[in-house]
Amino acid sequence: MKKTVTTLADGRELIYYDRRDDAVRDAADERPLGQVATSSQVRQDVLLGDAVAIASHRQDRTYHPPADECPLDPSRDGRHTEIPDSDYDVVVFENRFPSLSGDSGRCEVVCFTSDHDASFADLSEDQAALVLDVWTDRTAELAELPQVAQVFPFENRGAEIGVTLAHPHGQIYAYPFVTPRTSLMLRSAADHRAATGRNLFEDVVAREQADGERIVLATEHWTAFVPYAAHWPYEVHLYPAHRTADLRSLDDGARAEFPAVYLELLRRFDRLFGPDHPRTPYISAWHQAPFRAPGRDEYALHLELFTIRRTSDKLKYLAGSESGMGVFINDVPPEAAARRLREVASE
């Protein structure tokens, strides 16, 4: 992997990641951009104890532009975008409309391919391996920032999820605090260790492996399953065979096997609802241990992949119980979801 670091016209960092060592990235950003002005701040909810990012400047972010005006395409034919070069493998750059910035963290955009009409599921295994290397590199670099407590790489796909740019891309949030969801998992892991002397994440995976009914895919280095108490209609958790805190210490076997496993899961999601609905909306989220929190050694790196679609023509909305009280109601039994995800396996 070759890494080329440059800056955009407004001072934001942009990084090219190439599979070829001889790639040359020297195109300049010719747009007349002023310095980015953000208003991000983090406020504490004293009742719930969690943090809320206030980012009013995001009201002006790019919203569903025509395909020929996509800011994530390469710059071509006199049209200048966020990526100055005319082609790329993977690109990362600081978000122009960040939810978190400065002392409040950092937000980055990850463009998986220069092909506007592709999806992550369309990538080759070599391309997917490069994206994994990028996620790992960004985790390592962002971990060195003193204001960053946790790094969260994720992808939102589909207008139903709320995606405003159709180009295949994800994001990385570098939070200045430990997120509420991670805090809950750390607390549960600590309670489990105190009660049993064992690691909670290892016990969860072992239980699913022993039961087998909710296993979606299992290889030498990865296990994918629908969790026993899945929140979403179709939800898969993917764990490496050897527990590790974050992507930086993922072992070579798991790293080599990940592209084929992950692409297979994404392609199964795209087959869930038949040929008339070939691109299932989803969120794919890497859960990594916070860098300096108590209990870090008890945490387990894993990926959570889920869709809000419950049938071919119905979505799962977060209504009264979910939004008002945080209590999920799932219309699809996890065992049925796992069975369906096995049925749509590649031949």
Instruction: Check which CATH number belongs to the domain holding 48 and give it.
Output: 3.30.428.10
Catalytic residue among 169, 237, 287, 302: 169
| Residue 6 and residue 139 in one domain | yes
Instruction: Specify the pLDDT at position 311.
Output: 96
Instruction: Say yes or no to pLDDT of 299 above 80.
Output: yes
Instruction: Specify the pLDDT at position 122.
Output: 98
| Residue 337 and residue 221 in one domain | yes
Instruction: Say yes or no to pLDDT of 326 above 80.
Output: yes
As a whole number, mean pLDDT of residues 28-53 equals 90
Which range has the worst mean pLDDT, 48-62, 174-188, 288-302, 320-334? 48-62
Where in the sequence is the domain holding 141, given as residue range(s)? 2-175
What does pLDDT average to over the chain? 96
Q: Which of 175, 195, 225 is at the close of a domain?
A: 175
Instruction: Specify the pLDDT at position 9.
Output: 95
Which helix H or strand E contains 5, and what residues bound it?
strand 2-7
Instruction: Specify the pLDDT at position 274.
Output: 92
Residue 230's contacts (CB-CB under 8 Å, 6 or more residues apart) are 306, 330, 332, 334, 337
Instruction: Specify the pLDDT at position 58.
Output: 86
| Residue 213 and residue 300 in one domain | yes
| Residue 186 and residue 168 in one domain | no
| Residue 50 and residue 113 in one domain | yes
As a whole number, mean pLDDT of residues 188-199 equals 98
Each residue's pLDDT tens digit, 70-89: 999 999 988 999 999 999 99
169 is catalytic: yes
| Residue 218 and residue 290 in one domain | yes
Q: What are phi and psi of 306, to 5 degrees?
A: -150, 160
Instruction: Specify the pLDDT at position 59.
Output: 80
| Residue 19 and residue 129 in one domain | yes
| Residue 119 and residue 25 in one domain | yes
Instruction: Specify the pLDDT at position 94.
Output: 97
As a whole number, mean pLDDT of residues 283-297 equals 96
Instruction: Specify the pLDDT at position 279.
Output: 95
d(CA 15, CA 5): 4
Instruction: Specify the pLDDT at position 56.
Output: 86
Q: Considering the entire predicted model, what is its pTM?
A: 0.96
Q: Which of 175, 208, 239 is at the close of a domain?
A: 175
Residue 113 banded pLDDT, cuts 50, 70, 90? very high
| Residue 93 and residue 186 in one domain | no
Instruction: Say yes or no to pLDDT of 149 above 80.
Output: yes
Which range has the worst mean pLDDT, 75-79, 88-92, 122-126, 223-227? 75-79
Q: Which of 144, 159, 175 is at the close of a domain?
A: 175
As a whole number, mean pLDDT of residues 280-291 equals 98
Q: What are phi and psi of 33, to 5 degrees?
A: -100, 140
d(CA 343, CA 219): 17
| Residue 169 and residue 190 in one domain | no
| Residue 137 and residue 241 in one domain | no
Rounded to 10 deg, the angle between the 252-271 and 125-143 helix axes is: 120
What is the number of domains present in the chain?
Answer: 2
Query: Tokens in use for 194?
Result: 């105190």
Residue 57 banded pLDDT, cuts 50, 70, 90? confident
As a whole number, mean pLDDT of residues 156-169 equals 95
Residue 110 contacts residue 90 (beta carbons within 8 Å)? yes
Instruction: Specify the pLDDT at position 144.
Output: 97
Q: What is the largest CA-CA distance in the chain?
A: 64
Residue 244, Cα to own-chain centre: how many angstroms? 18
Burial of 144 (0-12, 13-18, 19+ CB in 10 A): exposed
As a whole number, mean pLDDT of residues 13-27 equals 96
Instruction: Specify the pLDDT at position 233.
Output: 97
Number of H helices, E strands in the chain: 6, 15
As a whole number, mean pLDDT of residues 283-289 equals 98
